[in-house]
Amino acid sequence: MLRVAAVQPSSLAAELGIEPGTELLAINGRELADFLDFEFLSADEAFLLHVRTPAGEEIEFDIERPEGLPFGITLEPPQILRCANRCDFCFVDGNPDGARKALFIRDDDYRLSFRHGNFATLTNLRPRDVDRIIEYRLSPLYVSVHATDPEIRRRLLRNPKAPAVLEQMAMFAEHGIRFHTQIVVVPGVNDGPVLERSLADLYAMGERVLTAAVVPVALTAHSKLDLVRALTPAEAAAAVDEVERWSSRARRERGEGWVYGSDELYLDAGRPLPPAEAYDGFPQAENGVGAVRYLQQLIAEGRRGLRDMAGRRALVCTGTAMARLMPPILQAVSEATGAVFDLAVLENGYFGSSVTTAGLLPGRAFLDALRGKSAYDLALLPAEAVSDAGVFVDDVSLAEVEAEAPMPVLPSYHFTDALGAERAA
């Protein structure tokens, strides 16, 4: 069921009298299953929209809307499609008891892959999903390939029914679909020659595979450590070498690197991160691929818009992954604002110290880090650690952290969003 969560004031939907709670039933007689149906079927300038009001009345609107005018509604979040796999390295198994409920959802949703760049395995597609991907031309899709060898991939996903991913991608590619791909490297399973073959297969798909990212398996103290382990530095270095062999070839033959190692892979290998230009515009920065260089670039570009904070002191909280990489970033922010930025590197006591990314730090870690730090005028927290509902992975809310901290607290993705001239703290 597709229901309206909010209506923007003075919008077309508001003029029609659509209100929160209204069910959107059909457009031009076609039933609406989810936001994709609504977005694609309402793209025309004129359409018939069949709704049921919260009072139960069914109405059909004959809508004409000038091109580009938004309809003005926010839909209730979709029912997430669940995953059909049982990977040994699944992040869900790595959650401690009591983690935020959403972290226990094994989502594998091609719709969110298209809309938000979430990676999907395409192993749970029903025939009608395949039809929709083709009909709506959902491109690019973000696909977790892991291994192109069907048997090895089935083993990785613990799913004997997983279809052969190359065949699936080739079929979609015939309909104009393009792909960003990722390979999560599990030592002894899909590294070494398997990784080499996977990259060769993906490269052979030509322009249909836009990018490939190689990411080390991420485990926590709660993962199935009897079944899967992290890469050793030597294994990570071998994966980096493989990535760089292919990226050199791609740059020579196609003008772009095409395959990129994640920041974590370089850190695990003890190798320096490639320069910003090696990421070709950062197509997978949200996947932790070039995220550090992306951040540095944003700060450099946004310097002029940062406010004057001379004489002030700020505390920047982050996870251990960024600890080594932060000093030059903080130096740049400090020069741009005149403030002193100190770094608080927080261990993840919730998932275990092997989880180093800032986005998975629990609220309790911030409460502990900020308590008693009254010498600071401001604290910056990684915004990616806070959900849309304003809570951390352990269900501690941002409001609780703000209430207990002795200084103003700002979530920030890249400093320039929190320290712009118009923000005050």
- Applying CB under 6 A, the residues found at the interface with ligand SF4 are 83, 85-87, 90, 92, 106, 108, 121, 157
Q: Looking at beta carbons only, is 159 or 320 nearer to ligand SF4? A: 159
SS3 of the chain: the string is CCEEEEECCCCHHHHHCCCCCCEEEEECCEECCCHHHHHHHCCCCEEEEEEECCCCCEEEEEEECCCCCCCCEEECCCCCCECCCCCCCCCCCCCCCCCCHHHHCCECCHHHHHHHCCCECCCCCCHHHHHHHHHCCCCCEEEECCCCCHHHHHHHHCCCCCCCHHHHHHHHHCCCCCEEEEEEECCCCCCHHHHHHHHHHHHHCHHHEEEEEEEECCCCCCCCCCCCCCCCHHHHHHHHHHHHHHHHHHHHHHCCCCEEECHHHHHHHCCCCCCHHHHCCCCCHHHCCCHHHHHHHHHHHHHHHECCCCCCEEEEEEEHHHCCCHHHHHHHHHHHHCCEEEEEEECCCCCCCCCCCHHHCCHHHHHHHHCCCCCCCEEEEEHHHCCCCCECCCCCEHHHHHHHCCCCEEEECCCCCCCECCCCC
Q: Which is nearer to ligand SF4, 92 or 173 (CB)?
A: 92
Residue 88 CB, nearest approach to ligand SF4 (Å): 9
Q: Which is nearer to ligand SF4, 113 or 247 (CB)?
A: 113
Looking up tokens 């991608």, which residue turns up? Answer: 169
CB of 172 to ligand SF4, least distance (A): 18
Residue 62 beta carbon to ligand SF4: minimum distance, rounded to whole angstroms: 43
Nearest approach in angstroms of CB 70 to ligand SF4 is 33
Q: Which is nearer to ligand SF4, 133 or 401 (CB)?
A: 133
Closer residue to ligand SF4 in complex, CB, 109/394: 109
We find the least distance from the C-beta atom of residue 156 to ligand SF4, in angstroms, to be 8
* Sheet arrangement for strand 23-27: 30-31, 23-27, 46-52, 58-64
Q: How far is the CB of 92 from ligand SF4 (least distance, A)?
A: 6
Which lies closer to ligand SF4 via its Cβ, residue 65 or residue 224? 224
Question: Would you say how long the chain is, in residues?
Answer: 425
Residue 385 CB, shortest distance to ligand SF4, in Å, is 20
Least gap, CB of 183 to ligand SF4 (angstroms): 13
φ/ψ bin of 281: left (φ > 0), alpha (ψ from -120 to 50), beta (otherwise): left
Name the residue nearer to ligand SF4 (CB basis): 21 or 163: 163
Q: Given the complex with ligand SF4, which of 217 and 409 has the nearer CB atom?
A: 217
Q: How far is the CB of 284 from ligand SF4 (least distance, A)?
A: 17
Q: Which is nearer to ligand SF4, 87 or 285 (CB)?
A: 87
Least distance from ligand SF4 to the Cβ atom of residue 384, Å: 19
Q: Which is nearer to ligand SF4, 50 or 155 (CB)?
A: 155
Closest CA to 149 of 189, 209, 91: 189
